[in-house]
Amino acid sequence: MAGCASCGAENPPGFRFCGGCGRPLVAEPRPPPPPGSDAAAAARKVVTIVFADLIGSTSLHERLDPESVGRLMDRYYEVAREPVEAHGGSVVQLLGDGVMCAFGVPHVAEDDAIRAVRAAVGMQRAFREFAREQSDVVGSLGLRVAVNTGEVVVSDEHRAGLGDPLNVAARLQQEGHDGDVLISESTQRLVSELVTLTPVGVFSLKGRSETVAAYRVVSLDRPAGAPATAFVGRENELRRIMTVYDAAAAARRARLAVILGSPGLGKSRLITELARRLGERATVVTARCDAAGGATFAPLAEALRAVLHLDAGASGDVLRAAIEAVVPGEEAERARIAGGVTALLAGTPAPPEETFYVVRRLLAALATAQPVVLAIDDLQWAEPLLLDLTEHLVQWSTEVPLLVLVAARPELRDTRSSLAAPGGLVNEVVTLTGLDAGAATRLAANVVGADELPAAVAGRVLATSEGNPLFVGELVRMLVHDGALKREGDRWVAGVELAALEMPPTIQALLAARIERLRPEERTVLERAAVVGRQFSRAAVAHLLPGEAGNLDARLESLRRSELVEPDAGWFLGEPALRFHHVLIRDAAYRRLLKNTRAELHGRFAEWVEGRVGEAVEHDETIGWHLEQAHQHLRELGPIDAQGRALGERAARYLAAAGRRALARDDLPLAASLLGRAVDRLDAADPARADLALDWCEALLAAGDVGPAQSAIAELGRFIGGSERLRAWHTCFTGQLAALTDPQALRTTGDAVAAAAEALASLGDAAGEAKAHFVHAVALSRLGKVGACEAALDRALAAARRGGDRRRTNAVLAGAPLAALSGPSPVTRASGRCLDVVRVLRITQGAPAVEAVALRCQGVLEALRGRTEAARRMIAASRRMVEELGITHRLLEADVFAGRIELLEGDAAAAERRLRPAYEGLREHGLGIDAAQAAALLGRALLAQGRAAEAEALSHESEALAGDDLQAAIAWRGVRAEALARRGEHAAAVQFARAAVDIAAATDALLDHADARLALAAALRAAGRSHEAAAEEARAIELWEAKGATLLAERARRDGGRVAQVDHALGEVRPVRRRVQANAATAHVARLDAVIAARDADALPTLFAEGLEVVHHLTGAEHGREGALFSLRSLLKAQDPTLSHEPLATLGDS
């Protein structure tokens, strides 16, 4: 007992604060832990705090003598302590009327949170009993209890910085009422499947900036209606166990089957499914061993109590009677068995030999009626005597139809190999691995009762869980809890774009406890390997264990046997590679490390890699990542000093180099990530951020990632100052963003970037000039000025080649197929241009993202000629390319084009399946203009299915997004017109359709113009104006023929022969021709036409100036004046020379 220096009260051992007055007790000095010991190593751990506080104690002090208060408080502390210690927790501190308890200090367990909640409920029950006993003294005293889970730093059981988790628990209990047990959201996420809770609100707690959601514990029963986990992907394993059961039943002899697997793989689920399938055919006795230990035979005692239908409080006589009723034979034998089993159930078992005998005889008695299955789960936690009993039952249960089924983690191989290896006692070993992709996907959907989940969600869950069933379930529940997966109507959708998933707290607790139980030297190896990453090598870990690598091989082998690490196929920096058995094991080991330790280890490892790889740039990303982690952890610990800034600059250099290479090869998501992270490593005022921001903007906008792009453009804007170059680049990026998201700004965007192009040209920035012309071309295309767009693309291509910018050259080439598709070029010529782009790319450096654009445009062109299967193949190829590149924007665009092809084929339902997710995805990503076009196309698909009201609603959505984008503006008006016509609003329908035609007539977008004419024809026909409708149909056919869209033209002709009835007085409808302003260049071309027509070879040299250079538009091939003259003279020698050309656009007078 420790005496209090303040009040003299005696306190039990372990009290750090006086139970009488609450003042600190003077503790005896303790020697420091030995260097290198487990206790000396500080670690980050997740612990659960229970805080209890009395209500109304002030009046108690007023009414009672101090000695009486002291005795009462001593009893109160005992009442509070007993349930806590019974559930494996410890009382850490007494604070006057408050009692603070911790679960997970010094050693964490996977069930810390639920044991803490049970202890808290036990405290309330014990206090109510205490209050009844002392009602004449206690009066109106009450008790509030709160539970909170959080991360702390723990060095040993006496030194724990419980900090914020304690503060939250202490503040949270103040929000409760007498008798309440409130738990925070962090605890709720760990226990919600195990106890019944009700939300009580969100509180702003004193001293905290963030609010805390709280729940009241209603009961310790599982929530009503909690669904059972689906049984998927384990039929083969179950069949093998059933085979052993059938053999035991047939031979009437004990058989042993073993299920081995890491946590979460479904060992317990296999046992419960076996019991369900057997049903009334067998008696199933299920025992479960506890990691916390306890009485040797306690798991078996609880299982027998359940199968004999005995309450926990049953008297000895009741126990004996129930057992004797089951056991046949002589009275003395029955009494012996009943006595031995009764002692076992009471927790006072007989000597081992006698206990083994009575348990075996009881199971044999139960097996007289039907076969018995004794299933023991988590056998790796069993005490040695229980393992001995298991072996005894298998060896000595002859003439008994008994299946002994044990489930354990791989550690059982080390603790009792005779129960883990096939042969000998073991008839079957079922080793579990992760579910295959199909089974894991079905399980993920089953968690929320769905037939399927969004592909992105299912893919991310599968990648993170690696098929572990427990991880699958917890990840899906976490996504639902966090709002990342939500229900909309009868389907589930992703609430946000999913990046890497965090570890669910339930899995974190499970894996943290598993790592905690390792020997200290093995745990250290695992932590160092975690710093390296999912994959590592012996040499890498040895470098991070200076002076401790002597027995590293033995430690790694032990970790391998525990299925924590495993050999990996391949090499790691020239050494045989190892890997963590699961990525979440790596994450759990890493989380234990202090941030300062992480920073130091990452820095050391980066230097080691630098020394190993020399100038090999392919490792820049790896080195940059480790330096980035070191810098980030230091930043989180406080202000960065000069050394920390230098570390950040090193990280930025490596990340930037890797990011720029990724950008050059069109790996846009990776480039955007690396470049953004490089920017973030530098101080806010570092001017180097400006050049990094240029490339960051380029990557983000090329990927269509408009949200982060806004931040990147703003970052670039901070450094403009007086720099005309940066100002012009900023204008280009702002314009490119507007072309994706702000349709109202298209016209002003075009003017601004045209001016930026001139500014950048004057500064000699060819790359910038190319960028500006390209953005200008995009804006012109959106405005329906396809000819001017193609001219701007030519200027962009020339500038990109002049600057030697291969990537920008490719980006410009991507615009050519789009212009060819939407503009007046006939299908054959447009197809040639698309295929030229593909050929050029394949014979030069290759650019899959650009090739994908060309292929999807070519797909639509093929469909326009009725070649649907070829079109689908091209779209599929295009889609595969952008899928591999991970460019979400381009993937959605490919789906829009696929929808267009299905519309052309006449399969409106298939078109809807493509267009709806594309529209929703584009809108979700903030790509308003593309979303407007997709919405209008989806409206057409719905009209074709007779769903006019839905189509009209989509036309309004398209209108809200379209702005100055001519293609969308034409399309939504056409959809609106047809929808209105179908419900009899003919005047309005014709008005909208004529507006679409007026807009289209001012453009050279033949297909959109034809669509507008056809929409007007439909509106006129619905209004009974057939003659006018036929005229519009005829005009649409002329436009389709001008484009070479034979499929549409022929379909219209077959549509009832209405076109043939048009009055010839309407005259011929001629295809739209480009209108360009005449200047000196057009006059020079006219003279060339005349020379060719006259076959006047002698006049050719007068048309070509000295120093002339000719550049092929697509291939980039160059030749001078003599080469051009040679080509034309060869042309004139042909039988019937022709020179076909069409002016795209002109600029100025010359």
Residue 185 within any structural domain of the chain = yes
Structure tokens at 1053: 């002709």
* Residues 302, 249 share a domain: yes
In a domain, 318, yes or no: yes
Element (H, E) at 148: strand 142-156
Q: Are residues 308 and 187 in the same domain?
A: no
Helix or strand run (H / E) with residue 708: helix 706-717
> In a 3-state reduction of DSSP, which class is residue 900?
helix
Kindly report the CATH number assigned to the domain that includes residue 301. Answer: 3.40.50.300
pLDDT of 1139: 58
| Structure-derived torsion over alpha carbons of residues 774, 779, 781, 784, reported in degrees to the nearest 10 | -160
Do residues 320 and 467 both lie within one domain?
A: no
Domain final residue, candidates 532, 565, 593: 593
Q: Does 1043 reside within a domain? A: yes
Q: Which runs of consecutive H residues, i.e. helices, occur in 963-1113?
A: 966-982, 986-1001, 1006-1022, 1026-1043, 1046-1054, 1080-1094
Mark whether 291 and 423 lie in a shared domain.
yes
CA–CA separation, 534 vs 587, rounded Å? 9
Cα dihedral value 523, 529, 530, 535, nearest 10:
-140
How long is the chain? Answer: 1150
Number of domains into which the chain is organized: 8
Residue in 730, 661, 229 with CA at minimum distance from that of residue 440: 229
Annotate 427-440 with b (16+ C-beta within 10 A) or e (fewer): bbbbebebbeeebb
Angle at 774 between CA 773 and CA 780, to 5 degrees: 85
Q: Which residue has tokens 């219209």?
A: 1052
CATH no. for residue 112?
A: 3.30.70.1230
Whether 709 is covered by a domain: the verdict is no
Predicted pLDDT at 497 = 61
Radius of gyration, CA atoms only, the chain: 39
Query: Where do the H-state alpha helices sit in 466-550?
Result: 469-482, 505-516, 520-532, 538-543
Domain presence at residue 814: no
Same domain for 210 and 63, yes or no, is yes
CB proximity list for 1136: less than 8 A, separation 6 or greater: none
Q: Is residue 162 part of a domain?
A: yes
**Angle in degrees, 0-180, between the axes of helices 908-924 and 888-905, rounded to the nearest 10:** 160
* Block residue for tokens 């899906």: 476
- Report residue 1095 as tokens: 């076959």
* Joined tokens for residue 563: 């299925």
d(CA 75, CA 87): 19
Residues 208 and 101 in one domain: yes
User: Could you tell me if 301 and 367 lie in one domain?
Assistant: yes
pLDDT at site 555 = 94
Distance CA 180, CA 347 (A): 33
Phi, psi for 24 (deg, rounded to 5): -60, 140
Query: Which residue(s) pair with 444 in the sheet?
Result: none
Last residue of a domain, one of 380, 404, 431: 431
Q: How far is the C-alpha of 596 from the C-alpha of 604, rounded, in Å?
A: 13
Between strands 142-156 and 43-55, the pairing is antiparallel
Please, are residues 1010 and 1039 in contact by the beta-carbon 8 Å criterion? yes
| Residue 584: both structure tokens together | 């979440």
Do residues 549 and 562 both lie within one domain? yes
**CA pair distance 842, 824, nearest whole angstrom:** 27
Q: How far apart are CA 170 and CA 151, in angstroms?
A: 16
Cα 703 to Cα 683: distance, rounded to the nearest angstrom:
26
Q: Which DSSP helix (H) or strand (E) runs through 181?
A: strand 181-184
Q: Give, for 488, the enclosing helix (H) or strand (E).
A: strand 485-488
The tokens of 299 are what?
């798991």
Q: Pinpoint the alpha helices (H) of 742-785.
A: 746-762, 766-782
Neighbours of 566 (CB within 10 A): 12
| 156, amino acid identity | D
Neighbours of 21 (CB within 10 A): 17
| 3-class DSSP string for 810-823 | HHHHHHHHHHHHHC
Note whether 462 and 422 are same-domain residues: no
Q: Taking the model in full, what pTM does it have?
A: 0.75
Where do the H-state alpha helices sit in 844-907? 848-864, 868-885, 888-905
Which residues neighbour 175 within 8 Å (Cβ) at sequence distance 6 or greater? 146, 182, 200, 201, 203, 205, 214
Residues 298 and 447 in one domain: no
Decide which of 414, 431, 448 is a domain's last residue: 431
| CA count, 13 A, side-chain hemisphere, 2 | 19
**Assigned token pair, 1025:** 């104006």
Q: Does residue 522 lie within any of the structural domains?
A: yes
464 and 569 fall within a common domain: no
For residues 640 and 761, give the distance between their C-alpha atoms in angstroms, rounded to a whole number: 41
Domain housing 564? 503-593
Spatial contact of 113 and 124, defined as CB atoms under 8 Å apart? no
What DSSP element (H or E) covers 728?
helix 724-741
Residue 331 included in any domain: yes
State how beta strands 283-288 and 372-377 pair.
parallel
Q: Measured between alpha carbons, how far is 792 from 773 in angstroms, rounded to an integer?
A: 6
Do residues 419 and 444 share a domain?
no
Show Cβ contacts of residue 426 under 8 Å, excluding neighbours closer than 6 positions: 256, 257, 258, 418, 419, 420
**Hey, what amino acid is at 560?**
R
Report helix, strand or coil for 861: helix
pLDDT at 723 (0 to 100): 92
Residues of the chain with pLDDT under 70: 1-41, 58-59, 61, 137-139, 156-162, 225-227, 292-294, 496-501, 548-549, 844-846, 1056-1077, 1107-1150
Q: Please report the pLDDT score of residue 1117 as a whole number.
A: 45
Contact 435, 469 (CB under 8 A): yes
